[in-house]
């Protein structure tokens, strides 16, 4: 009978010993496959969690930036651009401003400047309001915000005032006795009141906003403006100080005034949010890395212990198998079967139980590691393909037969080398 036939008959005859050997190899394989799969699940889970955190962080920063933008909307712009020879006292106290060409707006918008946004040109002049007993009125013409060429267009702070309409401050509307939807006359021209602002406690209360072209016509200053307002984009505090110089490099005929408290508050808020976000992301990464190291330490302890215990158990089973087959071995030797074939018979049996135990162990370890990884720290289903490791499968399926062969080597060698007469005498 062939060696394989002898092995198959022996397995059927002593199936309990063979099954216990399979379980020993399966235990070693399952511990290795389970540990490696759990580590792969941790890696995949970490990538997934960090990606979700990154997306949530980007969304949070976008929302924060929008919130800051809304706050800035209340505070209004933090950069004002005036004629280079403008007297600031006259501008701030009496709204007297030197004019400059409206084309300056397009020059600035088409430049390579990216440090500002929400560029809004205006023409402002304090007038005696003839229709209201020459009451003081700040007449401001606006045309809406102009986007810069290199920046994405943003939602404007202030909606442009349509031609033929006027937006009134609280006091100016009270002086004229008008409400939203009514009509008001300014310098002989009738306007429909589109909106009346609530009281703000500043010069806006005595202001009327109309379309820039109509203001230029009423004030007899066609094609002219006397101010441009803007908002700094997100940049560092040191970079903020460079903005006026950058604007003046594009338009030598102007000077730019930066409201540092507003600008710094905006920049500081963004910087603080980004810093806190980076720290939170780093803390998440550190926590995941620490958990990974703990899992690796546990695997480095448990897997060798299980492997050693399985090897010892396999050696005991192999010894018991040899002991139970002394008569059979003695007869085989007595009829001329060489010791090499006896050794091959035992080693083939060991390889067979190693292959079967390795396959069962890998399946059990992979499934348990996959399930453990999902239940431990990953929200939602974790695709099994993301935790499958070909090297792990090869190691377990190849290591099972090797472990069984090594554990069975000495008992098998002893059986093949013993004198058949002595083995038959013992029986």
Tens of pLDDT, residue by residue over 175-205, are: 999 999 999 999 999 999 999 999 988 889 9
How deeply is 333 buried, as exposed, middle or buried, from its count of CB atoms within 10 A (0-12, 13-18, 19+)? Answer: buried
pTM: 0.48
pLDDT greater than 90 at residue 222? yes
b/e for 118-151, b at 16 or more Cβ within 10 A? bbbbbbbbbbebebbeeeebbbbbbbebbebeeb
pLDDT at 14 over 80: no
Please tell me the predicted confidence (pLDDT) of residue 263: 46
Q: Is the pLDDT of residue 427 over 60?
A: no
- Judge whether residue 56 has pLDDT over 70: yes
Pick the residue with more confidence: 245 or 53? 245
Residue 160 tokens read as 């442009």
pLDDT at 6: 64
Say what the pLDDT of residue 134 is: 93
Confidence at residue 260, expressed as pLDDT on a 0 to 100 scale: 47
Could you give the percent of the chain with pLDDT greater than 70? Answer: 78
pLDDT for 225-253, tens place per residue? 999 988 766 556 666 778 888 899 999 99
Q: What pLDDT score was predicted for residue 327?
A: 67
CA dist 85 and 254 (Å) reads 8
Q: What crossing angle do the helices spanning 339-377 and 260-324 adopt, rounded to 10°?
A: 150
Q: Could you tell me the residue ranges of all domains in the chain? A: 3-61+278-426, 79-258
């Amino acid at each position: 009978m062939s060696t394989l036939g002898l092995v198959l008959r022996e397995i059927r005859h002593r199936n309990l010993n063979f099954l216990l050997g399979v379980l020993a190899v399966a235990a070693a394989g399952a511990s290795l496959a389970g540990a490696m799969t759990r580590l792969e699940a941790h890696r995949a889970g970490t990538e997934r969690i960090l990606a979700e955190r990154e997306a949530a962080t980007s969304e949070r920063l976008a929302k924060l930036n929008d919130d800051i933008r809304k706050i800035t909307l209340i505070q209004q712009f933090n950069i004002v651009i005036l004629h280079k020879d403008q007297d600031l006292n006259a501008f701030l106290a009496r709204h007297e401003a030197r004019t400059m060409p409206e084309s300056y707006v397009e020059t600035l918008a088409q430049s390579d400047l990216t440090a500002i946004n929400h560029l809004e040109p205006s023409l402002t002049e304090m007038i005696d309001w003839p229709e209201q007993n020459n009451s003081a009125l700040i007449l401001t013409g606006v045309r809406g915000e102009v986007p810069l060429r290199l920046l994405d267009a943003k939602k404007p702070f202030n909606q442009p005032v349509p031609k033929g309409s006027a937006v009134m401050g609280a006091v100016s509307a009270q002086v004229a006795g008008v409400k939203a939807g009514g009509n008001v006359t300014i310098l002989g021209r009738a306007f429909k009141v589109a909106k009346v602002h609530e009281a703000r406690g500043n010069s806006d209360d005595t202001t009327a906003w109309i379309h820039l072209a109509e203001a230029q016509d009423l004030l007899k200053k066609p094609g002219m403006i006397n101010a441009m307002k803007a908002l700094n984009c997100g940049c560092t505090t040191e970079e903020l100080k460079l903005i006026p110089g950058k604007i003046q490099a594009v338009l030598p005929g102007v000077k730019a005034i930066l409201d540092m408290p507003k600008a710094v508050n905006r920049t500081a808020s963004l910087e603080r949010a980004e810093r806190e976000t980076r720290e939170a992301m780093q803390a998440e990464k550190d926590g995941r890395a620490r958990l990974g190291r703990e899992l690796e330490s546990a695997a480095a302890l448990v897997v060798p212990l299980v492997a050693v215990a399985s090897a010892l158990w396999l050696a005991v089973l192999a010894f018991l198998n040899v002991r139970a087959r002394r008569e059979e071995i003695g007869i085989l030797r007595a009829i001329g079967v060489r010791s090499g074939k006896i050794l091959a018979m035992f080693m083939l049996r060991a390889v067979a139980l190693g292959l079967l135990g390795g396959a069962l162990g890998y399946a059990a370890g992979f499934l348990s590691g996959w399930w453990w990884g999902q239940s431990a720290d990953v929200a939602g289903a974790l695709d099994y393909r993301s935790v499958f490791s070909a090297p792990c499968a090869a190691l377990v399926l190849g290591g099972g037969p090797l472990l069984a062969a090594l554990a069975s080597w000495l008992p098998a060698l002893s059986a093949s080398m013993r004198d058949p007469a002595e083995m038959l005498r013992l029986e």
